[in-house]
């Protein structure tokens, strides 16, 4: 398990360096301004403002104060995408931002048209981010935030899929 983390960070800080540098700059600015970072799996995040969602810049995300757990999973999924797409991740981030702000704009001028747009995760890079976030963070979230532990049967590859609240 430790080797997987070392390899994950080695790739993030080489192949995915561009986006993580941006995340580092955001981290320094927000920290100096007095915002407190929080942790969600391998990602750090800051809570700023309300009712707007979030964005990811490598190991750092910024989300609204009234965010959902889904938002954290989704933004962590973008962090995992950076592992795979590396320097090309910036294009996914730009497309994601344009898509988000387009939906905000449509919602302000014509709420009925917003309701007819496909779901947020319907485009591949947003759906993949949510999928990655849930796939790789659910166990961490259940353990760290909810106090659940995977049963020993599941860890040993057994059929049982129970959790216990220890």
Domain of residue 97: give its range.
2-165
- For residue 113, give every residue at least 6 positions away whose Cβ sits within 8 Å of its Cβ, in sequence order, or none: 106
Distance between CA atoms of residues 41 and 136, nearest Å: 9
pLDDT class for 136, splitting at 50, 70, 90? Answer: confident
Is residue 25 predicted with pLDDT exceeding 60? yes
Residue 71: what pLDDT?
Answer: 94
Is residue 112 predicted with pLDDT exceeding 60? yes
Residue 148: what pLDDT?
Answer: 61
Higher pLDDT, 4 or 35: 35
Residue 138: what pLDDT?
Answer: 76
- For residue 67, give every residue at least 6 positions away whose Cβ sits within 8 Å of its Cβ, in sequence order, or none: 47, 53, 54
pLDDT class for 137, splitting at 50, 70, 90? Answer: confident
> Stretch 131-135: mean pLDDT, rounded?
92
For 8-35, b/e burial (b = at least 16 CB within 10 A) is eeeebeebbbbbbebbeebbeebeeeee
User: Which CA distances in Å does 35 have to 28, 58, 70, 95?
Assistant: 10, 18, 22, 27
Q: What are phi and psi of 164, to 5 degrees?
A: -125, 145
How do residues 61-99 score in pLDDT, each as one tens digit?
A: 999 999 999 999 999 999 999 999 999 999 999 999 999
pLDDT class for 139, splitting at 50, 70, 90? Answer: confident
Is residue 152 predicted with pLDDT exceeding 80? no
Distance between CA atoms of residues 27 and 156, nearest Å: 39
Angle between helices 69-85 and 89-109 (to 10 degrees): 150
Q: What percent of the chain has pLDDT over 70?
A: 84
Distance between CA atoms of residues 45 and 68, nearest Å: 13
What are the beta bridge partners of residue 149?
164
Domain count, the chain: 1
How do residues 26-35 score in pLDDT, each as one tens digit?
A: 999 999 999 9
């Amino acid at each position: 398990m430790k080797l997987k983390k070392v390899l994950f960070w080695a790739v993030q800080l080489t192949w995915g360096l561009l986006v993580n540098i941006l995340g580092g700059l955001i981290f320094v600015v927000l920290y100096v301004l007095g915002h407190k970072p929080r942790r969600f799996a391998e990602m750090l995040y800051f809570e700023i403002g309300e009712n707007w969602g979030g964005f990811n810049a490598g190991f750092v995300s910024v989300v609204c104060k009234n965010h959902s757990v889904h938002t954290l999973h989704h933004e962590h999924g973008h962090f995992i995408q950076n592992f795979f797409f590396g320097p090309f991740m910036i294009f996914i981030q730009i497309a994601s931002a344009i898509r988000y702000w387009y939906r905000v704009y449509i919602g302000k001028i014509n709420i009925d048209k917003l309701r007819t747009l496909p779901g947020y995760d319907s485009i591949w890079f947003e759906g993949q981010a949510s999928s990655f976030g849930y796939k790789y963070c659910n166990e961490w979230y259940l353990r760290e935030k909810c106090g659940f532990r995977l049963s020993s049967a599941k860890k040993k590859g057994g059929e049982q899929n129970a959790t216990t609240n220890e």
